[in-house]
């Protein structure tokens, strides 16, 4: 059983398109996150959801929007994709905000 | 503000060598957590360890050991008798208690273990 699963694993799309990445965790964790990893491996927090409430929203463009239908899911919607959005996006969850993360396998987004 | 420095960008060793990955952190908070994560070439991120600021005991897990020293604000990671499968990027992270609880990640150290 995959603890944190995200789909798709690869996503190639054209500039200007709208896309979504799905994330589901079956660990019963309270908090879920989205991270962006750039080409230099730098990890940047994008969003955090705790009990369906957005508790962190870093300075990301409003083209990015998280959607959490329930505690086990945190999807990422991206509108009007730009070349600079190309990166690997990781979903993660944690038991609470003080524990280590369990990460999904990542989604490599390529905008052409 | 919090900061994590992993000064070693890349380390290259030969199998069976011991290797230490350095992590130096900065925070004014007295309660915080330190983490190490591993990212192998396959790309996933794997949690390795969490240590809180009140527990300075060193930890050993098989060939992995961690040395936490508050006096030098360091949380170093040693791999004994390295193996090719240890080749990965290793991230150190710092999370303070309270506030957003969002960890600050270091830039990562790429470890290459040659056969």
pLDDT band at A11 (very low <50, low <70, confident <90, very high): very high
d(CA B104, CA B110): 18
CA triple A83-A74-A90, angle to 5 deg: 50
Instruction: List the 22-51 stretch of A: residues with Cβ below 8 A of B.
Output: 40-43, 45, 48
Rounded Cα distance, B68 and A105, in Å:
29
State the pLDDT at residue B99. 65
Is A9 near chain B, with CB under 8 Å? Answer: no
pLDDT of residue B58: 86
Q: Whole-angstrom Cα distance, residue B93 to residue B95?
A: 7
Contact B22, B10 (CB under 8 A): no
- Say which residues have a Cβ less than 8 Å from residue B74's Cβ, sequence separation at least 6: B22, B23, B24, B25, B67, B68
Q: What distance in Å separates residue A98's CA from the closest CA in chain B?
A: 7
Percentage above 70 pLDDT, chain A: 97
Q: Which of B44, B102, B110 sits opposite A103 (nearest CB)?
A: B44
pLDDT at B39: 97
Residues B87 and B104 sit within 8 Å (Cβ to Cβ): no
- Please state the rounded mean pLDDT for residues A75-92: 96
Q: Does residue A1 surpass a pLDDT of 70? A: no
In A, which residues are within 8 Å of B45 by CB distance? 90, 92, 101, 103, 106
Res B103: pLDDT:
86
Name the residue in chain A with its Cα closest to that of B43.
A105
pLDDT in tens, chain B (115 residues): 889 999 999 999 999 999 999 999 999 999 999 999 999 999 999 999 999 999 888 888 999 999 999 999 999 999 999 999 999 999 999 998 776 678 899 999 999 999 9
Nearest by CB to A106, which of B33, B44, B50? B44
For residue A20, say if its preceding peptide bond is cis, omega within 30 degrees of 0: no
pLDDT reported for residue A2: 72
The answer to whether the CB atoms of B45 and A103 lie below 8 A apart is yes
| Closest chain A residue to the Cα of B31, Cα to Cα | A98
Per-residue pLDDT tens over the stretch A39-55 = 999 999 898 888 767 87
């Amino acid at each position: 059983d995959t603890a944190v699963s995200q789909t798709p694993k690869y996503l190639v799309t054209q500039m200007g398109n709208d896309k979504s990445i799905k994330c589901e965790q079956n660990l019963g964790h309270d908090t879920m996150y989205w991270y962006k990893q750039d080409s230099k491996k730098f990890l940047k927090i994008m969003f955090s959801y705790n009990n369906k409430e957005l508790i962190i929203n870093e300075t990301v463009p409003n083209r990015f929007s998280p959607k959490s239908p329930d505690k086990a899911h945190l999807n990422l919607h991206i509108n009007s994709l730009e070349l600079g959005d190309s990166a690997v996006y990781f979903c993660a969850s944690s038991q609470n905000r003080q524990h280590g993360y369990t990460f999904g396998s990542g989604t490599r987004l390529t905008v052409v | 503000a919090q900061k994590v420095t992993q000064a070693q960008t890349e380390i290259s060793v030969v199998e069976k060598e011991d290797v230490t990955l350095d992590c130096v952190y900065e925070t004014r908070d007295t309660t915080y957590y330190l983490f190490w994560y591993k990212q192998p070439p396959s790309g996933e991120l794997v949690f390795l360890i969490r240590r809180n600021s009140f527990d300075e005991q060193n930890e050993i897990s098989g060939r992995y050991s961690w040395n936490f020293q508050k006096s030098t604000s360091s949380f170093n990671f040693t791999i004994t008798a390295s193996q090719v499968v240890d080749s990965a990027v290793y991230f150190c992270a710092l999370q303070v208690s309270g506030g957003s609880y969002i960890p600050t990640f270091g830039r990562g150290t790429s470890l290459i273990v040659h056969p």
